[in-house]
Structure 1
Amino acid sequence: MLPALIIFLLTYLLMLALPQYRPFAALGGAALFLALGAAGLWDFTLMDAARAVDFNVLLMMAGTMGTVSLFIESRMPARLAELLIVRVPNVKWAVCMLALFAGVISAFVDNVATVLMVAPVGLAIARKLKISPVPVLISIAVSSNLQGAATLVGDTTSILLGGFAGMNFFNFFWMEGRPGIFFGVELGALASLGVLLFTFRHETQPISATVETEVTDTVPSALMLLTVGLLIAASFLPQPAGGLPLALYGLRSGLICAGVCLFGILRACLRLRSFAPFRLAARELDCDTLLLLFGLFILIEGIRKAGVIDAAAQLFYTLSGDDPFRLYTLLVFVSVGLSAFIDNIPYVATMLPVVQGIAGLMNGGAGFPPELFYFGLLTGATLGGNLTPIGASANIAAIGILRKQGEQVRTRDFLRIGIPFTLAAVLTGYVYLWLVWGA
């Protein structure tokens, strides 16, 4: 087990030290596990690795990315933001509503894509009113990160949880007769809105805006809604007995996302009589994240085969004992602390099987339902990224946009919003989840 742990830690350190090479570090670590498995150090074969890769998750991500690229290109997000802004009385409410709007979009669209959609509107408002765009874009970024945990397609971590736990789109709203994590996220959004209103309490300048953006194509918006609708419908399909129908059933969410995306791209190419939409979708495809996840799936199965996952679960169990509240609290706040500095995708991918193992050890081996711990992990890991400028990709994207505009973003500027925003959202979600799932 020690060699497996060393390889995993070295791989993780490489991903932290060389973020631009994270996919290659993960793939290299996975290849090393396979090579040592073939040498007989542990029982890990190529077939084990192939079975470990969740192709449903990868297809969901790739398909959603492509449809989002068409959605952004249609200019619908900018139009919606303008329609929202013309209905607010002053700068304070304009910034807060823009952040809320980014959050709503981010519940169904990748966080970084959401920032890229909404940031130009925030910049335009800041320029028009001659205020600093720094707090405006920081508010958009942290709100996007918050709502990513609300639905199955809102963030990579949500997709990972859904694939690992066999959750469908509807389970984020209602699961096993109880309200799901969606409502905890929304309560956190309301609490964090209070933080933003307090932060911008002095920005009471009146605002006048017009709806100027023209939507070039409404079909991508319809495709986004169709994707969500089909995912919900697919969640009610009965599971086949076996064979090819069962294999396709396991890929149903990914096939839906990929199918809708391909239809949208083909339709756009025919409409424009050009391959430009295909090239656009290809450029927007985040191959680094897809390759990273591919490697992580294999890497994590390797450390599971070597016994590292079981050992980590035992360590957590030793610290928490049979007390679910203690374990839940530990998971949430350790996840918040770690995700403030490390990428939450590999962290969540690693911790999901650990959490499953801990839940199985509780009650003297009789086990404890793992949903509380799954949701606690997702809440802490997703929202913890808002504590620091480097804790989430959306934060990095927003800061990059500001720097291109010649704006200096100091760490204290980010912390002034990020820390109270995160604490308000996490504590609210933490209490909600325990009351609903821990009692």
Structure 2
Amino acid sequence: MAAAEAIAAIIFSITVAAIVLRVVDESVAGLAGLIAMIVFTKYSPLEAFRIIDWNVIAILLGMWVITGYMIEGGFAEAVVSLVAKRVKSYRKFLLAMAILAGFVSIFVDNVLVILLFGSIVLEAARRAGGNPVLAILLIGFSANFMGTALLMGDLPPQLLHSIAGAEFLDFIWSHGRPSSFPLLTVTFLLVIMSMYMLFVAREPESMVKLDEAETGSQINKAVLTIGLAGFIATVIGMAIRPLLGAPLGFITIAGAAITSLIGELYNKASAKGVSFEKALEHVEWRALLFYASLFGLVGGLEVNHVLRSIAEHFVGFIEASPYIAYTVFYWLVALLASVIEHDALLLTFLYLVRDAATLSGVNAWPLYWGMAWSATLASNLTVAAAPALYVAVAMAEKSGYKVTPKTFLKYSVPFVLLSLIIQYVLSIPIWAPLMTMK
């Protein structure tokens, strides 16, 4: 059994290294690692299939289909048009777009948010004579920041649902105290205002003039209405899931199916509709494969008792002072998540803490929240930790603006440090004491 543990740990470490170093595509590395785990350890294909949380995969797929209709309906154009008509300077425009990117990413995958808003801010910066690199990175940081605020925005909150049983409303208020959405919102606004004073305030004050073609003419009101209606209905269904008694994956797939059916009927009846195939183009199939492989990989560690062995060494920290335990796990995960793909890291640590908390008999919820927050916030430090930021950098360089590591860190370091410190200060007095309550 010791040999099986060592082999499983080595396979997992090599796979994570391949993901971090981008030796090959992340999804390919994850799938290859999963196959190796099955072939070389006592981990059967059936066990791997059962361990993959298909409920989470269904949530992601359903939400991507629904947002596909919103995007095709001109959701981004409608938002930008609304902002452009109300702000009178480039500085305020960039500030507004960063805030919007953060809050939209609560509901829409952060990569999509960057793709939707990135080209707009790059063009606005060019016309105003501003710094395009600052503009696109601020959008990227913001989109990556708020994905853990509610249940549907990114993988970390869905991992909390899968492993810890967090429901939609738990992200607003949990265990009699404010949780993810209110705390992250306060932190986000404070960080954005700090970044404004540090960097954006030095940008030109000149007016932003965007053409109608960039802000309004691409809006398809009927398709946008169908997408928004499906989205709102699905969110309501997710919020009342305990009353419905249905898995979240079923609710989101049902919402996607109904939205797609109405969209198809409208498309057949009108030349102005959007086909189902077009909406599917916005599904991140590679990401689904990657996330499925992560569940399978970590499951291999669980089956081969690697996580249990490591968890035994964590019991001492968890049984210490709640404030010490919260601090250790918050900053340990933050340190690792700054260089390691944060979804894989968080999934592993959630399992570790679950097992360690079971052994020590303490309430693990403060650590679950703290690790989810610190992993997400720290991932903004490097491109390796948050693949979404690679998209932002690629967009800038495709437009002719070089993003050197020094330039990236110039903006990412203050953003991440402010994020982690503010969230830690806000959250520890609220959540650490709960560890003593089982």
TM norm structure 2:
0.89
**Aligned in 2, Cα 1:390/1:23: closer, same or farther, shift over 3 Å?**
closer
Aligned partners of 1:146 and 1:189 also within 8 Å? yes
| 1:269-284 alignment runs, 5 A limit | 269-273=264-268, 277-284=275-282
CA distance in structure 2 between the partners assigned to 1:121 and 1:25 by the alignment: 33
Comparing 58-67 with 334-343, greater Cα deviation is found at 334-343
Partner of 1:125: 124
Partner of 2:309: 311
Aligned partners of 2:102 and 2:143 also within 8 Å? yes
Comparing 58-67 with 259-268, greater Cα deviation is found at 259-268
CA distance in structure 2 between the partners assigned to 1:256 and 1:20 by the alignment: 34
Letter of the structure 2 residue corresponding to residue 254 of structure 1? G
Partner of 1:372: 366
| 1:338-357 alignment runs, 5 A limit | 338-357=336-355
Aligned partners of 2:107 and 2:152 also within 8 Å? yes
Partner of 1:159: 158
Partner of 1:148: 147
Give the drift of 1:220.
1.2
CA distance in structure 2 between the partners assigned to 1:295 and 1:357 by the alignment: 21
> What whole-Å deviation, never above 9, does each CA across 1:146-193 have from its counterpart, x for those lacking one?
111101111111111212111111110011222111111111112212
Give the drift of 1:401.
0.9
The secondary structure found in structure 2 opposite 1:236 is: helix
Aligned partners of 1:173 and 1:179 also within 8 Å? yes
Q: Are 2:287 and 1:289 aligned?
A: yes
Partner of 2:436: none
CA distance in structure 1 between the partners assigned to 2:77 and 2:340 by the alignment: 31
Give the drift of 1:347.
1.1
Letter of the structure 2 residue corresponding to residue 414 of structure 1? F
Partner of 1:13: 17
Partner of 1:203: 203
Partner of 2:417: 423
CA distance in structure 1 between the partners assigned to 2:318 and 2:174 by the alignment: 26
Give the drift of 1:204.
5.0
Give the drift of 1:104.
0.8
Aligned partners of 2:64 and 2:283 also within 8 Å? yes
Aligned partners of 1:170 and 1:235 also within 8 Å? no
How many residue pairs were aligned?
418
Partner of 2:37: 33
CA distance in structure 1 between the partners assigned to 2:81 and 2:87 by the alignment: 11
Letter of the structure 1 residue corresponding to residue 238 of structure 2? L
> What whole-Å deviation, never above 9, does each CA across 1:11-36 have from its counterpart, x for those lacking one?
22233344543333333333343345
The secondary structure found in structure 2 opposite 1:30 is: helix
Partner of 2:234: 227
Give the drift of 1:209.
4.2
Aligned partners of 1:150 and 1:181 also within 8 Å? yes
Letter of the structure 1 residue corresponding to residue 237 of structure 2? L
Letter of the structure 1 residue corresponding to residue 30 of structure 2? A
Give the drift of 1:235.
3.4
CA distance in structure 1 between the partners assigned to 2:112 and 2:29 by the alignment: 25
Q: Are 2:408 and 1:404 aligned?
A: no
CA distance in structure 1 between the partners assigned to 2:375 and 2:332 by the alignment: 9
> What whole-Å deviation, never above 9, does each CA across 1:283-338 have from its counterpart, x for those lacking one?
32222221122222222222112211012212333456523322222222222222
Give the drift of 1:64.
1.0
Aligned partners of 1:86 and 1:208 also within 8 Å? no
Comparing 419-428 with 109-118, greater Cα deviation is found at 419-428
Partner of 1:332: 330
The secondary structure found in structure 2 opposite 1:284 is: coil
CA distance in structure 2 between the partners assigned to 1:276 and 1:91 by the alignment: 34
Letter of the structure 2 residue corresponding to residue 201 of structure 1? A
CA distance in structure 2 between the partners assigned to 1:74 and 1:295 by the alignment: 32
* Equivalent of 1:260 in 255, 259, 275: 255
CA distance in structure 1 between the partners assigned to 2:24 and 2:63 by the alignment: 23
Aligned partners of 1:134 and 1:407 also within 8 Å? yes
Aligned partners of 2:18 and 2:24 also within 8 Å? no
> What whole-Å deviation, never above 9, does each CA across 1:353-410 have from its counterpart, x for those lacking one?
101122223xxx3x21111101111111111111124431221111111111111112
Aligned partners of 1:15 and 1:22 also within 8 Å? yes
Q: Are 2:77 and 1:94 aligned?
A: no
Aligned partners of 2:149 and 2:180 also within 8 Å? yes
Two-structure CA RMSD over aligned residues (Å) = 2.2
TM norm structure 1:
0.89
> What whole-Å deviation, never above 9, does each CA across 1:267-288 have from its counterpart, x for those lacking one?
3333233996322233322222
What are structure 2's unaligned runs of at least 5 residues? Answer: 434-438
CA distance in structure 2 between the partners assigned to 1:196 and 1:341 by the alignment: 22
Give the drift of 1:260.
1.8
Comparing 223-232 with 314-323, greater Cα deviation is found at 314-323
**Aligned in 2, Cα 1:35/1:227: closer, same or farther, shift over 3 Å?**
same
Q: Are 2:216 and 1:213 aligned?
A: yes
Give the drift of 1:6.
1.8
Q: Are 2:134 and 1:135 aligned?
A: yes
CA distance in structure 1 between the partners assigned to 2:178 and 2:97 by the alignment: 27
Aligned partners of 1:86 and 1:209 also within 8 Å? no
Give the drift of 1:63.
0.9
Comparing 320-329 with 336-345, greater Cα deviation is found at 320-329
Aligned partners of 2:64 and 2:282 also within 8 Å? yes
Partner of 1:242: none
Aligned partners of 2:101 and 2:142 also within 8 Å? yes
**Aligned in 2, Cα 1:324/1:357: closer, same or farther, shift over 3 Å?**
farther
Aligned partners of 2:337 and 2:385 also within 8 Å? yes
> What whole-Å deviation, never above 9, does each CA across 1:239-265 have from its counterpart, x for those lacking one?
5xxxxxxxxx3xx21112122222333
CA distance in structure 1 between the partners assigned to 2:99 and 2:298 by the alignment: 36
Give the drift of 1:350.
1.4
